[in-house]
């Protein structure tokens, strides 16, 4: 099996792609994979570290308003389509899969014109411009949430698979999670994080509720500050008596996030698609504070959809405070079983396996 994978810009596009590569390699050890990304994208570093052959095209996104930059983008797009066709003809893939981001546009478009089986994976409830454009050309749209179907009415085929990242999380070793935190399995783990760099608003809310957390000794709070904020947060925490902090674990970053998520009882985070895929696959309720700084406000739409399903509570950043967050934690934990069951109903723990089967079917039809 020969696969071309593309996706970039953010970890939310890149990590599902890598999870898919891992699943392919698990079932097809001799599979050959080529990753097409952009020179400036986050994927260049992440994919190379994963030891996957990596080549680049030059591409940028369209502005939402008419501008001279959009004309330049069209020229880049056409050049990148040509470059992508060159890569595809040289590599001769059985299928091309894209997980989102501007870089997917020319690669999947080129593959469709060359009659190569094509798959787009959409992580968010509401798709971005690139995936909407590609839905007119590719053979299959794989979605993470049922609510995405209405946005792909003209697509050839739409299948609910879930997010491949979910499959990696459900396979994580819980024992290692408890060892990292140095706690026993009877503790209720509350995970709080704002992404790899942290989120100032979430960190501030945590500091505001910190004096009251010793009242909840049956909860163990895992607070991920982000590397940028860690030193400042530590200075604030050191103002308190260490005896009051026995149920708190503070770290700048978690390299073993799947193992911690596997033992988490309540997730408090932004509303990125990969995070939501992970927690729903595990049946973990969430309190979501969507980032107001993302394109098309898609995190708020993700969070709202999950809240409507009964699996989460949403707090908008402008409404966030320590008291509101703590009150919401207590509320969700009191009704934990209901929220957990709703999350399980949404979760797709075998997402990567299902997506691989869909790809294999496409290849057989070729």
10-residue stretch averages of pLDDT, the chain, 366 residues long: 92 89 95 93 85 88 57 81 97 96 94 97 88 95 91 94 90 90 91 84 94 92 91 89 85 87 96 90 96 83 92 96 97 96 91 94 88
Report the DSSP beta bridge partners of residue 190: 221, 266
Which pLDDT belongs to residue 336? 97
Task: Name residue 98's beta-bridge partners.
Answer: 6, 120
- Is 299 labelled as part of a ligand binding site? yes
- 359, exposed or middle or buried, with CB in 10 Å at 0-12, 13-18, 19+? buried
Domains 2-163+349-365 and 169-346 share a fold: yes
**Which helix (H) or strand (E) element contains residue 237?**
helix 230-237
10 is in an annotated binding site: yes
pLDDT score at 67 = 57
DSSP per-residue letters across 91-104? H--SEEEE-SSTTH
In angstroms, what is the C-alpha Rg of the chain? Answer: 21
* pLDDT score, position 59: 76
Ligand-binding site membership of 6 (annotated)? no
Pairing between β-strand 32-38 and β-strand 2-6 as defined by DSSP bridges = parallel
Q: How far apart are CA 255 and CA 192, in angstroms?
A: 15
For 2-163+349-365, the fitting CATH number among 3.40.50.1950, 3.20.20.140, 3.40.50.300, 3.40.50.2000 is: 3.40.50.2000
What are the angstrom distances between the C-alpha of 111 and each of 6, 36, 62, 79, 136? 11, 12, 21, 14, 13
Is 124 annotated in a binding site? The answer is: yes
Cβ contacts of 170 within 8 Å, gap of 6 or more: 262, 281, 282, 349
Alpha carbon distances (Å) from 113 to 116, 138, 295, 343? 8, 9, 29, 39
| pLDDT number for residue 328 | 97
State the CATH class of domain 169-346.
alpha beta
d(C-alpha 347, C-alpha 278), whole Å:
8
Residue 160 gets which letter from DSSP? E
For tokens 């406000």, the residue is: 297
Q: Which run of H or of E encompasses 37?
A: strand 32-38
Q: Please give the structure tokens belonging to residue 97.
A: 């899969």
Please tell me whether 101 is known to bind a ligand: no
Any known ligand binding at 196? Answer: yes
Q: Are strands 286-288 and 312-314 parallel, antiparallel or unpaired?
A: parallel
Contacts of 75 (CB under 8 A, 6+ apart): none
Cα gap 151→146, rounded to integer Å? 11
Q: How far is CA 117 from the centre of its chain?
A: 25
In angstroms, what CA-CA distances link 296 with 124, 172, 292, 299, 301?
11, 33, 9, 8, 9
Annotated domain spans of the chain:
2-163+349-365, 169-346
pLDDT computed for residue 304 by the predictor: 93
């Amino acid at each position: 099996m020969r696969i071309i994978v593309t996706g970039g810009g953010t970890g939310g596009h890149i990590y599902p792609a890598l999870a898919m590569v891992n699943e392919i390699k698990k079932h097809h050890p001799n599979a050959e994979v080529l990753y097409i990304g952009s020179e400036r994208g986050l994927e260049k570093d992440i994919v190379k570290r994963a030891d996957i052959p990596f080549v680049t095209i030059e591409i940028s996104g369209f502005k939402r308003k008419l501008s001279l930059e959009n004309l330049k983008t069209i020229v880049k797009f056409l050049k990148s389509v040509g470059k992508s066709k060159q890569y595809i003809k040289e590599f001769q893939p059985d299928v091309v899969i894209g997980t989102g981001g501007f870089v997917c546009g020319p690669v999947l478009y080129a593959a469709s014109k060359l009659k190569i089986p094509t798959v787009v994976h959409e992580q968010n409830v509401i798709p971005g411009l690139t995936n909407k454009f590609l839905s007119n050309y590719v053979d299959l749209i794989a979605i993470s949430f049922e609510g995405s179907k209405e946005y792909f009415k003209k697509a050839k085929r739409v299948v609910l698979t879930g997010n491949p990242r979910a499959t990696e999380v459900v396979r994580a070793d819980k024992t290692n999670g408890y060892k990292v935190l140095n706690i026993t399995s009877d503790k209720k783990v509350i995970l709080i994080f704002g992404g790899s760099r942290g989120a100032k608003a979430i960190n501030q809310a945590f500091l505001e509720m910190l004096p009251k957390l010793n009242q909840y000794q049956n909860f163990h709070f895992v607070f991920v500050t982000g590397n940028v904020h860690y030193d400042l947060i530590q200075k604030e925490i050191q103002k308190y008596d260490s005896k009051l902090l026995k149920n708190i674990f503070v770290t700048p970053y978690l390299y073993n996030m799947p193992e911690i998520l596997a033992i988490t009882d309540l997730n408090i985070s932004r509303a990125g698609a990969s995070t939501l895929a992970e927690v729903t696959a595990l049946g973990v309720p969430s309190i979501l504070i969507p980032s107001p700084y993302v394109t098309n406000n898609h995190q708020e739409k993700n969070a709202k959809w999950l809240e409507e399903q009964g699996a989460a509570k949403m707090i908008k950043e402008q409404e966030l405070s320590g008291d509101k967050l703590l009150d919401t934690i207590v509320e969700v934990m009191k009704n934990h079983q209901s929220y957990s069951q709703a999350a399980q109903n949404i979760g797709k723990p075998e997402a990567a396996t299902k997506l691989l089967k869909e790809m294999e079917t496409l290849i057989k039809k070729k």
